[in-house]
Structure 1
């Protein structure tokens, strides 16, 4: 059995309360690998028109997120990726 197959079996046998912790650990491993590996290729980002962005910003879901973030005292240039990396750094001390 390959390492991946063993890993998948182990993940599937986890109790539900440990699944989120396993997901966080996978994020930690990915972040650690990014820091250790030199200039990994970044996937191409999708291109949106100004009209598409403006329409998306007006959606109720985005407005709810914006409202929640406004009260969080975050710097204006913080992204969701930054927040995730900060969370992993706090949790795993990297």
Structure 2
């Protein structure tokens, strides 16, 4: 599947909702970003933030597998969507 900017943002919002529903992952995400719940709600429409949500999710293969299995997303979907969002064209090898 090829992602448009809109579909990439939609997938990232789905990922944010998925993270929020997982009590084991949401505190890890919030701790890594330093954001409060109010910050999350405020920035949820920001394409830069949505890219960061996908970056976080892609840090661990097991998170990607869980997310994709739970949402019916192809395993390569988050990476493809991330490439469309701001900063996604930059490859990080660390």
Q: TM-score normalized by structure 1?
A: 0.30
Higher relative contact order (CA 8 A, sep 6+): 2
